[in-house]
Chain A
Amino acid sequence: MGKMVNGVPLGKQFTRLDDDICRPFESFPTGRWLVAISITSLMALCFAVAAGATVVGGIGLWGNNAPVGWGFGIINMVFWIGIGHAGTLISAILFLLRQKWRNGIARFAEAMTLFAVICAIQFPLIHTGRPWRAAYWLLPAPYHMDMWVNFRSPLLWDVFAFSTYGLVSALFWYTGLLPDLAIARERSTNWLRKFVYGLLSLGWNGSNRGWQHYEKAYLLFAGLSTPLVLSVHSVVSFDFATSVIPGWHTTIFPPYFVAGAILSGFAMVATVIIVLRKMFHLEHIITVDHIELMNKVVITTSLMVGYAYAVELFIAWYSGNSLERFAFMNRALGPYAWAYWIMVSCNVIFPQFLWIKKVRRNLITTYVIILLVNVGMWMERFVIIVTSLHRDYLPSSWGIFRPTLVDMGLLIGSFGLFLTLMLIFVRFLPTVAMAETKAFMPGAQVKGAHHE
């Protein structure tokens, strides 16, 4: 694509940028988009059917059983909440670190966070035996029997972590959208669009004061979100770490989960963005350089995750605890060894190919590797949850977990829900932060003292 300045391609006019980014939602849906959304909404329908069946029929429709009380429900929950982390990392931490290249992908990533959180919060509810009660008893609401929630339970911490995360992510994303919504409003020719975008842009007028407040608010949200990148998945990991089950009861879990979340999140951002940039001809805005930079994050977090796997094994041996040793031997060699080795190879071994520059700048090889990482990260949660539970303390209770059709429906359906939301997003909202990107385009900033 040629020369880059601050991660933005050189030679693009500001208006052309607006045109390019606004085209998808200003023109009639393309055939490709219609085909895509019909497939994904069919998948999302799977989710609705499977979830409805679960609520009506009971968790028995899933593969869960006596030793394996949690299955696909919690796996999917941890998987999706992990996905969200890349978005927050890109929009908050990279913003604070002044990583300007993030502008091209920040909006995508933030939207992805939001949609991933939406997918994730489906599961804690439908995985309970009685969601109609869980929906309000899990909240610390005053209740006529003076009965409070149990603040010692990590599941309750999840309630707070998820709701905080969802709320902050949504506000952060919406704040960032304001100037772009105003652009959309200004460009609108149709009264309805003008009205809707006008309403959503909250009367943004581009004034100096407006910009000043906006920058402050954005910075504040970035500051608020930053700890969340670390805390949310740490709290999720407490669901396991605070239990007494060998394989769960591990102090390494919080950092291990955060690294894994970022790995899976970046993989998912790349998975979606590579398709979308092609679909909406945004190759000049989201460039191969972006992909390469993301690949570098992938390889870093992959190494962190690999380190965690190794340390887990080492500590299991070093602790001298026979149950702990058994749990890890069972992971690597037991009936679910296939899952463990898929996890290790997809998360640690295959990403190592990204050390090669050609591989990480090639979209096809990148795509293969990040798809594998997605699989590997889902498998990681499967390994942690299922293999730890299926053989715990008393061998008399050992069992095997086999997913059912409803389980598969929920898994596929959650992807459907995610992708449908993503497709709706790209049809109706600017997918790249136009205002921010412009700020880093050549000629946007006045440089040095002398004028030409």
Chain B
Amino acid sequence: MKKKKHTSGEMKRRDVLKSIGALVAASYVLPGCRRTPDRSIVSRPFEPEYQEPGKALYYASTWTEGPYPYGVLVKTLDGRPIKVDGNPDHPVNEGRSNAAMQASVLGLYDPDRLKHPLHNNVKSTWDDVDQKVIQSLSSAKRATIVTRSTLGPSERALIKKYTDTFRGLRHLVYDPAGEDTRVKVWSDVYNASGSCVPCFDKASVILSLDSDFLAGDGVELETSYAWSKARAQGLQNGKPPVFYMAESGVSLTGSCADERISLAPSKMGDFSRALLNALSGNSSSLVSLANTLGLDQHWIGALVNDLKQNRGKSLVVAGAHLPKDVQATVALLNHELQAEGRTLLWEDTPELLRPVSAATFKKEIESGLDLLILLGVDPAYYWPLGDFAASVKQIPLVVGHGLYLNQSLSYCNIALPSHHYLESWNDASPRSGLVSICQPAITHLYNTRQEADSLLRWFNGAKQGASFIADSWYDFVKNSWQRGFTRPKVMPLSWEAFVRKGVADTSKESFSPVLDKLKALKLLTERNETSSGAELVIHPHHGVGDGRFSNNAWLQELPHPVSKIVWDSVALMSPTTAKKFGLVEGSMAKITASKAVYYLPVAFQEGMAEDVITATMGHGKSAGGTIEKDLGSRCVPHIPGKGFITSRFAVGVQVTKTAGSVVIARSQNEFSAHDRPIVLEASFTDYARDKNVIDAQRHKVHGHHMHEPTSFTDKYKWGMAIDLNRCTGCGACTLSCQVENNIPVVGKSEVRNGREMHWMRLDSYYKKSPDGRFLVSHQPMLCQHCDNAPCETVCPVAATVHNEQGLNEMVYNRCVGTRYCANNCPYKVRRFNYFNYQKRTVKSANQELMFNPQVTVRTVGTMEKCTFCIQRINAAKMAANNAGKIITDEQVLPACAGACPSGAIVFGNLHDPSSAITKLRKSSRAFYVNEEINTAPNVTYLARIRNTSSPLGGTSHG
């Protein structure tokens, strides 16, 4: 048949329809593609300097949310912050990070944040509320501004302007969680404002009295690294430090101690005084004390001996919650041990902000205030004195500024939303000579404003004849730098260079204040009442701190380093103590300490001192975000006085059982290693005598195999080494991995069901040594990338395969979810999406911005696990290939290794003979987990060497 020829211009029926279709489609699609601005714009032919799609930009900043302002490096991709790591240029944390810092990016995108100003709980505008506040500020006879104790120099300068300008305006710091008896005693006995900085890297003998200095008690990122570095160096030069710990609970720090005993906090005073006597030659009181308390004689003998022989190289630290007499004794002990100026340095801290007690605060707010401004504080949550709402009701105007509509803000007439620190300009100067800048990494996501910015606007609005300070908060921060009242004395950098680097540090004059022995001895006599009953110690929560991060699901789901409890606040006690009070795990206990009553679920913790209960603050909020609201039970510090010796430590505590019980959610439920060679350890004496002591404990594969081992010929073969001698078990790696790899949270009930998703988890094993000591061993556990991977052979659809560089790869698209791989994994590191966890947690479009676009977000029914951060490896490989080079150490760093505060994780190329990993794999301390089943893992563990003279009771070699 001949085809009919088309003539040009002839419109066929089909063509008409086609054109109509195209027109309709275009009318819908085209305007959707382009949202043209209403002013004429000019495009540029090249990518703007700071905008290369898909390429990360890093901004130096400061993590001002936490108790200590560490320097951070914020990774932004296409304009959105997706990861926060430590700033390597910051002299305190030197690139290292902790879990809360890692998790802070979640807070930025939190959909629960207060998103607009509220006036009497009705949505309002900034102009309206500003007007009201300025009016009140101008006319107020008495006003009070309440802040946290951690304020930057610019914020302090601004508040000082307020107190100088407005008569009858006072500034109070209400921070019950931040109260630190140590700091009070230091300033008393040294007659100086500042703090003692322990140098764990310089001490050969360390004694900690209930001080959790590796986690939360002090500047943990600095101490963790110093501590682990000293241990690593000590092992090399044959003189490792010895770390003694006497503690009430079982803290992370205690679990890392070489020689640990449990001691009730009320005995710390007697013990430290007896120790002081023993060091000055009179050991009779120590001997009798040891006898009455039944203390480990061996421990005491070794401690006294070591301290005596290491004067000038010893260090004693005490927990911030311990009473004044203990702190004074510790000051005297350090003096006796000649620690000052050697292992204990003095840091001038620019004008400490002293928190006031709740009683003073109550008196203040009930004294006929006209205006109360709460900046980033939640006193209602901590309020120990009855009804906070009733107290503030009398004040005509209460203004609250915060990230969430928390308990206090819900009582405010005006509740104002704050910027997240990633949206803020600020500065911090935790030490003299050190200033760091906080710069925004993104413009504010919601209709929020920085607290200091509000203060500045209100000040400008109601100046009352005061001199002009600045138009904007940014100018204020910049001016304070340029005028020099925040910058170091020696000006090292320009403003731009400063912001780029994030930190300015000058060498400071060393200053050693002299211990006022008389004052210390006087404090020492301030003995505290001792009474029968249990003792209660309240710590900040390991994840959510004092409660400031309690709406952060990542931190809620971070297991406690020792007890592995998640999503809860519990009363931890030893099983024998619980039995004494008729309690079992999960039963609700009524804990009465003086006038404070706490209702907490009971959880057992082996190894704790008897009659001691430790609890954490930060839970049990009646208002706030959807996560924190009504989660867990409230346990907050109280006013020191009868019963409460310090705000966080009470004696004479009554414990009774009440109705109800809960199931405690733990990510790990079995703590005995059952004598299996999972975590190998040795004492230093054994290791020094025979370097093969670890090797001898290994269950190596013997005999012949049916198959030739796979040969890897690529230029790369990836491997990881984890030094258990350096690992503290803090969990920063877990969190960093979670952020980097878009790992969902599953919630309390799913953890109870055993379905947590962490790719990198921390296993802890408890053991009783032959002489009765309680030992804890931590072991970060992640995919071992076995060369003979049991998971790979069993997958029917080949969704998990080995690559030529030794990586065990997971192909999410291919996975159908048989879970056979997880069953067959001897390390149980494979995680299954039992539900669509991401969909469950991501409730707003903003939250999706948080995801790392370089990592697939997994859906329901798929298996996932550690990839050794393959996205980072590939990025490094591409860069190296383009440069025609080969990747060397440090050019590729998995998220866990990048975060580790103690430098325990080393990653690298096993085919590079000069790489650190190649050397570590040959270490005499190297071992592999489950190596007897010939999985041939690419993760090497380096055994922990405990510097102890007591026997460890190693695993049996069977």
What residues make up the interface of A, taking CB atoms closer than 8 Å to B? 57-60, 63-70, 127-131, 133-134, 137-138, 147-150, 152-156, 159, 239, 242-245, 320, 322-323, 326, 389, 391-400
Complex contact A245–B824 (CB within 8 A):
yes
Complex contact A66–B795 (CB within 8 A):
no
Complex contact A153–B861 (CB within 8 A):
no
Complex contact A130–B816 (CB within 8 A):
yes
Instruction: Please tell me which one of the listed residues B765, B779, B823 contacts residue A389 in the complex, with CB atoms under 8 A apart.
Output: B823
- Distance of A68 Cα from B669 Cα, bound (Å): 14
* Inter-chain contacts of B951 with A (CB < 8 A): none
Does any Cβ of A come within 8 Å of B949's Cβ?
no
- Distance of A320 Cα from B669 Cα, bound (Å): 27
Given A70-B823, A127-B818, A242-B794, are A323 and B676 also a contact pair (CB < 8 Å)? yes
A sample of 20 more A-B contacts (CB under 8 A), given A58-B835, A66-B755, is: A58-B861, A59-B832, A65-B834, A69-B822, A69-B832, A129-B833, A130-B862, A134-B797, A138-B816, A147-B798, A147-B814, A149-B798, A150-B795, A155-B820, A244-B935, A320-B958, A393-B676, A393-B827, A396-B764, A400-B669
* Inter-chain contacts of A60 with B (CB < 8 A): 750, 753, 755, 834-835
Task: Write 16 A-B pairs (CB below 8 A) sorted by A numbering.
Answer: A59-B817, A59-B832, A66-B831, A67-B754, A69-B819, A129-B818, A149-B798, A153-B795, A153-B820, A154-B794, A159-B796, A244-B790, A245-B824, A396-B670, A396-B765, A399-B669
Given A59-B861, A394-B781, A399-B669, are A128 and B817 also a contact pair (CB < 8 Å)? yes
Complex contact A137–B674 (CB within 8 A):
no
Complex contact B797–A138 (CB within 8 A):
yes
> Which residue, of A57, A129, A322, has the highest number of chain B Cβ atoms within 10 A?
A129
Complex contact A133–B860 (CB within 8 A):
no
Complex contact B793–A130 (CB within 8 A):
no
Does any Cβ of A come within 8 Å of B673's Cβ?
yes
Q: Quick one: closest B residue to A62, CB to CB?
A: B834
- Proximity string of chain B (656-671) to chain A, C-beta cutoff 8 Å, 1 when within and 0 when not: 0000000000001111
* Inter-chain contacts of B930 with A (CB < 8 A): 393-394
* Inter-chain contacts of B935 with A (CB < 8 A): 244
Given A65-B755, A137-B814, A322-B958, are A243 and B819 also a contact pair (CB < 8 Å)? no
**Across the A-B interface, the 3 shortest Cβ-Cβ residue pairs:** A129-B817, A129-B861, A60-B834
Does any Cβ of A come within 8 Å of B350's Cβ?
no
Query: Which residues 455-482 of B have a CB within 8 angstroms of A?
Result: none
- Distance of A133 Cα from B799 Cα, bound (Å): 12
- Proximity string of chain B (850-862) to chain A, C-beta cutoff 8 Å, 1 when within and 0 when not: 0000000000111
Given A66-B828, A69-B823, are A57 and B933 also a contact pair (CB < 8 Å)? no
What residues make up the interface of B, taking CB atoms closer than 8 Å to A? 668-676, 678, 750, 753-756, 761, 763-765, 779, 781, 790, 793-798, 814-820, 822-824, 826-828, 831-836, 860-863, 929-930, 933, 935, 958
Interface class of chain B by DSSP: loop
Given A58-B834, A58-B860, A69-B822, are A396 and B816 also a contact pair (CB < 8 Å)? no
Q: Quick one: closest A residue to B836, CB to CB?
A: A58
Interface class of chain A by DSSP: loop
Given A67-B828, A320-B958, A394-B763, are A58 and B929 also a contact pair (CB < 8 Å)? no
Instruction: Please tell me which one of the listed residues A59, A130, A133, A322 contacts residue B676 in the complex, with CB atoms under 8 A apart.
Output: A322
- Distance of A21 Cα from B52 Cα, bound (Å): 81
* Inter-chain contacts of B861 with A (CB < 8 A): 58-59, 128-130
Complex contact A128–B763 (CB within 8 A):
no
Complex contact A148–B827 (CB within 8 A):
no
B402 smallest CB distance to A (angstroms): 35
Given A57-B835, A155-B820, are A326 and B765 also a contact pair (CB < 8 Å)? no
* Inter-chain contacts of B779 with A (CB < 8 A): 396
- Distance of A400 Cα from B668 Cα, bound (Å): 11
Instruction: Please tell me which one of the listed residues A66, A133, A394 contacts residue B756 in the complex, with CB atoms under 8 A apart.
Output: A66
- Distance of A332 Cα from B118 Cα, bound (Å): 63
Complex contact A396–B763 (CB within 8 A):
yes
* Inter-chain contacts of B671 with A (CB < 8 A): 395
- Distance of A393 Cα from B779 Cα, bound (Å): 14
- Distance of A152 Cα from B797 Cα, bound (Å): 10
Instruction: Please tell me which one of the listed residues A57, A243, A395 contacts residue B823 in the complex, with CB atoms under 8 A apart.
Output: A243
* Inter-chain contacts of A128 with B (CB < 8 A): 816-818, 861
- Distance of A153 Cα from B670 Cα, bound (Å): 31
Q: Quick one: closest B residue to A137, CB to CB?
A: B797
* Inter-chain contacts of B834 with A (CB < 8 A): 58-60, 64-65
Instruction: Please tell me which one of the listed residues B754, B835, B933 contacts residue A65 in the complex, with CB atoms under 8 A apart.
Output: B754
* Inter-chain contacts of A322 with B (CB < 8 A): 675-676, 958
- Distance of A201 Cα from B669 Cα, bound (Å): 62
> Which residue, of A147, A245, A320, A394, has the highest number of chain B Cβ atoms within 10 A?
A394
- Distance of A148 Cα from B795 Cα, bound (Å): 12
* Inter-chain contacts of B831 with A (CB < 8 A): 66
Complex contact A398–B669 (CB within 8 A):
yes
Complex contact A134–B816 (CB within 8 A):
yes
B519 smallest CB distance to A (angstroms): 49
- Distance of A364 Cα from B675 Cα, bound (Å): 51
Instruction: Please tell me which one of the listed residues A129, A153, A396 contacts residue B832 in the complex, with CB atoms under 8 A apart.
Output: A129
* Inter-chain contacts of B755 with A (CB < 8 A): 60, 65-66
* Inter-chain contacts of A133 with B (CB < 8 A): 816
* Inter-chain contacts of B836 with A (CB < 8 A): 58
Complex contact A395–B832 (CB within 8 A):
no
- Distance of A233 Cα from B440 Cα, bound (Å): 64
Q: Quick one: closest A residue to B817, CB to CB?
A: A129
A143 smallest CB distance to B (angstroms): 10
B912 smallest CB distance to A (angstroms): 30
Q: Quick one: closest A residue to B933, CB to CB?
A: A244
* Inter-chain contacts of A147 with B (CB < 8 A): 798, 814
* Inter-chain contacts of B862 with A (CB < 8 A): 129-130
Complex contact A395–B765 (CB within 8 A):
yes
* Inter-chain contacts of A242 with B (CB < 8 A): 793-794
- Distance of A130 Cα from B781 Cα, bound (Å): 27
* Inter-chain contacts of A243 with B (CB < 8 A): 790, 794, 820, 823-824
Complex contact A392–B828 (CB within 8 A):
yes
Complex contact B816–A137 (CB within 8 A):
yes
B811 smallest CB distance to A (angstroms): 9
* Inter-chain contacts of B823 with A (CB < 8 A): 69-70, 243, 245, 389
Q: Quick one: closest B residue to A390, CB to CB?
A: B754
- Distance of A389 Cα from B930 Cα, bound (Å): 16
> Which residue, of B814, B819, B929, has the highest number of chain A Cβ atoms within 10 A?
B819
- Distance of A252 Cα from B277 Cα, bound (Å): 69
> Which residue, of A127, A159, A395, has the highest number of chain B Cβ atoms within 10 A?
A395
Complex contact B678–A394 (CB within 8 A):
yes
Given A58-B835, A137-B814, are A149 and B822 also a contact pair (CB < 8 Å)? no
- Distance of A66 Cα from B666 Cα, bound (Å): 13
* Inter-chain contacts of B668 with A (CB < 8 A): 396-397
- Distance of A313 Cα from B538 Cα, bound (Å): 50
B821 smallest CB distance to A (angstroms): 8
* Inter-chain contacts of B670 with A (CB < 8 A): 391, 395-396, 398
- Distance of A244 Cα from B798 Cα, bound (Å): 18
Complex contact A244–B676 (CB within 8 A):
no
- Distance of A67 Cα from B958 Cα, bound (Å): 25
- Distance of A58 Cα from B819 Cα, bound (Å): 13
A244 smallest CB distance to B (angstroms): 5
- Distance of A391 Cα from B823 Cα, bound (Å): 11
Q: Quick one: closest A residue to B672, CB to CB?
A: A395
* Inter-chain contacts of B795 with A (CB < 8 A): 150, 153, 155
A148 smallest CB distance to B (angstroms): 7
* Inter-chain contacts of A130 with B (CB < 8 A): 815-817, 860-862
* Inter-chain contacts of B756 with A (CB < 8 A): 66
Given A150-B797, A395-B670, are A65 and B753 also a contact pair (CB < 8 Å)? yes
- Distance of A134 Cα from B676 Cα, bound (Å): 37
* Inter-chain contacts of A57 with B (CB < 8 A): 835
- Distance of A122 Cα from B862 Cα, bound (Å): 20
- Distance of A148 Cα from B828 Cα, bound (Å): 27
- Distance of A133 Cα from B835 Cα, bound (Å): 16
B640 smallest CB distance to A (angstroms): 40
